Amino acid sequence: MRAEILTIGDELCRGEIVDTNSSHLAARLWDLAITTRWMTSCNDDEADIAAALTQAVARADLVVCSGGLGPTEDDLTVDVVARLAGVDPEIDDPSRARMEARFAQVSLPTAGAASGGAPVSLTAIHLRQVRVPAGARVYPNPAGLAPGFEIPLQGVPVFCLPGFPREIHAILEASLDQRFAELREAAGEVERIARRVYRVFGRGESQISQACRGLVDAAPGASIHYQVKFPETLVKLVVRDRDGEAAAQRLAGLDAGLRDRLRGYLYGDGDETLVDRTVRRLIEARKTVATAESCTGGMIGELLTRRPGSSQAFLGGAITYSNAEKTRQLGVRPETLATHGAVSEATVREMAQGARERFGADLAVSVSGVAGPDGGSPDKPVGTVWVALASAAGVTTKKLAWPGARDQIRTLASWWALKLIDEAL
């Protein structure tokens, strides 16, 4: 099935907000073996919405829209879709009942009142967002007021959803995933998709692509795709076939070859990031970790504490931006700093050792670098970063040279610290 996603809103076309709805919808459709062929955005303008919908139903087998279902006068989706379908808008009674129940629980503050407030009265403006085209199939909104709905235009099912991502996710999970699957099956013979996402850190997209060149050339229906999600790269292996089992078998046959080509830089597959993997493995191994950070300013600790349960592994950290604090908190020798400087292998070694001793951790990582945009020198240009990991087995170090933007340098350094932890485990 060929799908088109249409997002509606002036703020999208003016660049005031980023369209995350299209990417989320496309991913959900892809999981159901429905390929999104087109993504379109248009203004809150009746003519523009009508033109975009007319174009979409002329070329797609399925259309999913988001936006324009609110209560204000520029929320026009219901009116335009109803007109194209040759019907009138009408109030959806179950959605109205949910709105009334919600409003009964809300009161507005009253000037001079010590407590309580005035109840919210339901008006025609409020009711605009519970309208649907007559005869539409309605999908309740568990996370908001405006329901989603489905109606055929020129024989093509068109789904209209609110613009808020949280509400779209709720409607998808409650009812639309199943409906999309039904439509796919009703289409008859459909292409099945087997896919796997591999996560690579420590090599650029061009190097990864070169390593994988020719891998899928002899595999029917197979393709390989790359997505840079800094600081990692996602490698997506896809096999298409009308027989789902055949697609899965060919994917399994390609798996070992891809892993071999990316050995040393492939750290996992699926949804688990390096951050989640590192914390999970620390907890499973019953190991503790501490951090000593200079240029990253606490970013490593922030990453380590994103995952629930991280307190089982992460003991704490020291942010030692100045040389004096490196000495005071971590015991870095003044002569080390004087001889080698703050950004040096010798300094991060002592930072990591000091953090491990002071926190009593099994492992400790340290980072010191020149994040820029100022502060570089000929021998230590911007992007020079040293990372170290201390353990009972000794100290491992890594030198980075990444002449990028400040936030990239700090992020890359933090991920390399996690990489050293992961390798130690």
- 260 and 281 together in one domain: no
Residue 297 inside a domain? The answer is yes
Q: Which domain holds residue 258?
A: 192-269
Closest listed residue to residue 160, CA positions, set 6, 27, 2, 3: 6
253 and 350 belong to one structural domain: no
Lowest mean pLDDT among 32-36, 129-133, 298-302: 32-36
Q: Look up the CATH number of the domain holding residue 406.
A: 3.90.950.20
Where does the pLDDT of residue 343 fall: very low under 50, low under 70, confident under 90, or very high at 90 and above?
A: very high
What is the per-residue pLDDT for 322? 97
Q: What is the predicted pLDDT for the residue at 239?
A: 94
Tens digits of per-residue pLDDT, 233-281? Answer: 999 999 999 888 999 999 999 999 999 999 999 999 999 999 999 999 9
Q: Is residue 218 part of a domain?
A: yes
pLDDT at 113 over 70: no
Report the CATH number that the domain containing residue 256 is assigned in CATH.
3.30.70.2860
In this prediction, residues 98-106 reach a mean pLDDT of 86
Question: How far apart (Å, rounded) are the C-alpha atoms in residues 425 and 412?
Answer: 20
- On whether both 294 and 413 belong to a single domain, the answer is yes
Q: Does residue 111 sit within a domain?
A: no
Give the Cα separation of 140 and 145 in Å (integer): 8
50 and 180, same domain (yes or no): yes
Q: Which of 229, 249, 269 is the last residue of a domain?
A: 269
Percent of the chain with pLDDT over 70: 96
Question: Same domain, yes or no, for 134 and 20?
Answer: yes
My answer on whether 325 and 419 are in the same domain is yes
User: 214 and 309: one domain?
Assistant: no
166 and 64 both lie in a single domain: yes
- The string of pLDDT tens digits covering residues 159-203 is 999 999 999 999 999 999 889 989 988 887 677 889 999 999 999
**Domain C-terminal end among 159, 186, 213:** 186
pLDDT at 111 over 60: no
> Are 24 and 166 part of one and the same domain?
yes
Residue type, 88: D
Which of 165, 186, 207 is the last residue in one of the domains?
Answer: 186
pLDDT in tens, 292-342: 999 999 999 999 999 999 999 999 999 999 999 999 999 999 999 999 999
For the record, the structure tokens of 229 come out as 């999600």
pLDDT at res. 285: 98
Whether 250 and 357 map to the same domain: the answer is no
For residues 95 and 180, membership in a common domain is answered with yes
| Spatial CB neighbours of 323, under 8 Å, sequence gap ≥ 6 | 332, 334, 337, 342
Sequence-separated (6 or more) residues with CB below 8 Å from residue 30: 36, 193
* Residue 161 and residue 198 in one domain: no
In a domain, 117, yes or no: no
Domain of 142, CATH number, reads: 3.40.980.10
Domain total of the chain: 3
Mode of pairing for the β-strands spanning 62-66 and 2-8: parallel
Give one DSSP letter per residue of 110-129, joined into a string: -TT-SS-EEEPPP-HHHHGG
For residue 6, tell me if it sits in a domain: yes
In a domain, 115, yes or no: no
Residue pLDDT, tens place only, 14-30: 999 999 999 999 989 98
Nearest residue to 16 (alpha-carbon basis) of 47, 41, 46: 41
Segment 206-223 mean pLDDT: 94
Is 342 inside any structural domain? yes
Q: At 139, is the secondary structure helix, strand, or coil?
A: strand
